[in-house]
A and B are shown apart, each in its own frame.
Chain A
């Protein structure tokens, strides 16, 4: 995985439908999640695992960040899911309903064992942790730092509100605290923060309002429930001309420093550090992904 791989949008593709899995590779989402969990009925778990393994191993779409969502931590399918998922070599495994750091650590141990057995690079497969309950939210900071494999956390709003006995609403005040708690945990751990889905695929205006909250709070990406949401969500993360210009200036300053063999790079009186460089590269990657040519020309 590249450090600055875009993670603006992630789309689930149900593990039982080869057609949908193939088709999902052609949409504009940054991250494609092959699902073994909720979209797969109990009787089709084995078939889905086989299909997803083959899809990821042999039909991996180019240019996508690939995830496999495994079944629940305490499900009987988990071990077989992990065995198949790790051997298929996605960028990350998406772990549902994480509530404690220890759960992630146990899965890390299992994944490490599979990597060793299969002769795969240790630590190569990363984790995205879905936080879907009040316990998960309360423990978000520990979960975020539970393993070096954890590169992102995502809020699962539907299950979270159910755990809270709250009502899920479009304005989303019932998940406001959870959003912020997860965001702060991600920021503290230096990992990607992924916002909850907006479930009503027939309400583009509602999605736009929800996206205003997503962007204002500072999320890095959002899960989409339908391909129709992808372009709107990507657009939400499209940087402004000012952000693009600033990113260009950061990279120009770094190039200048490299040319002059200067150890320290300074811009506008401040030092340019590694996180600034990564952020600048990410900003420009988002701009390019949105069809913006360097210099601000837009299609």
Chain B
């Protein structure tokens, strides 16, 4: 066993995986080696066609064989209809033992990914999270190899470091021409930004664009260019854009969530960094959307405009752009139809490569210039470490997403969290799964007050700014004790020694592992 700098005990090796323990949020330098890629040169001559009749033909043409790696983007989130079709076609071709490496959590139901794991089509998974039936299967020891979980920023780093090599990337596009120029911005099932697919298109050994809307050449607008694309396939439907947000963009009426959101906006407005040209990221979800609305109010009241808003973009941010409150919207993902459409018809709403948003191991990205990042969480501990993966019984609940990246990049990272959910405490002595290191979390905003992290780099500045307000400041220990008083101490979750998931930090080191739950 080895112990990383956050005190998590880790095996030295997990199967073939050699563990590099986490040493600190900014401790790992970039390797000096060139960027790795599986992309090959091509040579298409006039008259060649890339359009194939169906997915089976494309899979065969791609050269996909047992044990290779396939990837997908998650722009359709819960509405994805491509992954199931591709896996079904792969299974019909008898290809086995694949590594499944989507850009995030994909929780498709019909068919479930778990089916393809149990029948051996997939035997390795590298994603940002797993949940539902697949998550249960992994924690019950039904997935043969440990799942590697990476943040949005860590995935392009792993690809460019050669740690994740993609043999075939299947890219769902809501409009494409027969030569592979494609986009998610237009078409009957537009999903918006294809930000998570760029790194796959640029680095996979073979790129298959799948569309349900084949347009005349050349496709315009274009997100992914023909020069990266090997084959094009038309199917009936690639996804249901109605299910992208699935409530994520709805304005909550929950008074507790509204209170947390308003306090978060007040915290931002109280900071000296809340000034003309500031930048922010609020994300999606009940508290996040409400925070966005309250932040817009504060900006109007103070006459402050933002230079950019970043990341996953809901309609609420587009409203701010339309009102002139935000100069540029840097959109790695569109959370709803309004946001998806906005890239097409608003010049300042821009589709960006996820690596440009979140990869810490590039020559610089947006996060390093972000003033405020607002994050959700399942648990926070008294060292400000954050769990965004596992629930109160140890079950897989979510994905890493860009949370650890935002915390590591933004000047002021704010975790918004109710102190209890149902009967479960959210502020604990030690998070079950450590995803975001406490040193990168500036503040935790709850209904019971705001806790500032004394170990964060801008603690003194933020404390000085907030002490000028009437916002209620508490210590994280006070929040934890309040939780404990209200809920008691839950029984510890018992695990076996077998590692079900490896949680990588954005630098590729292991910040924690998730062990199989003992029944």
Contact = CB atoms under 8 A, between A and B. Distances in A.
Interface of A: 18-19, 22-23, 26-27, 59, 226-228, 291, 293, 299
30 contacts: A18-B423, A19-B420, A19-B422, A19-B423, A22-B420, A22-B486, A23-B256, A23-B447, A26-B256, A26-B259, A26-B447, A26-B448, A27-B255, A27-B259, A27-B447, A59-B485, A59-B486, A226-B255, A227-B255, A227-B256, A227-B259, A228-B255, A228-B258, A291-B469, A291-B470, A293-B470, A299-B266, A299-B270, A299-B469, A299-B470
Interface string B445-471: 001100000000000000000000111
Given A19-B423, A27-B447, 10 more contacts: A18-B423, A19-B420, A26-B447, A59-B486, A227-B255, A228-B255, A293-B470, A299-B266, A299-B469, A299-B471
A293 B468 CA distance: 9
Nearest to B418: A23
A291 B269 CA distance: 15
A41 B459 CA distance: 49
A299 B447 CA distance: 18
Contacts of B253: 228
Contacts of B255: 27, 226-228
Contacts of B258: 228
Contacts of B470: 291, 293, 299
A169 B266 CA distance: 36
Interface of B: 253, 255-256, 258-259, 266, 270, 420, 422-423, 447-448, 469-471, 485-486
Contacts of A226: 255
Most chain B beta-carbon neighbours within 10 Å: one of A59, A226, A227: A227
Contacts of A18: 423
Contacts of B420: 19, 22
Contacts of A299: 266, 270, 469-471
A227 B259 CA distance: 10
Nearest to B468: A299
A27 B471 CA distance: 13
A293 B469 CA distance: 9
Contacts of A227: 255-256, 259
A87 B292 CA distance: 45
A151 B420 CA distance: 34
Contacts of A228: 253, 255, 258
A131 B20 CA distance: 70
9 tightest A-B contacts by CB?
A: A227-B255, A291-B470, A26-B447, A299-B469, A299-B470, A228-B255, A26-B448, A22-B486, A23-B256
Contacts of B256: 23, 26, 227
Contacts of B485: 59
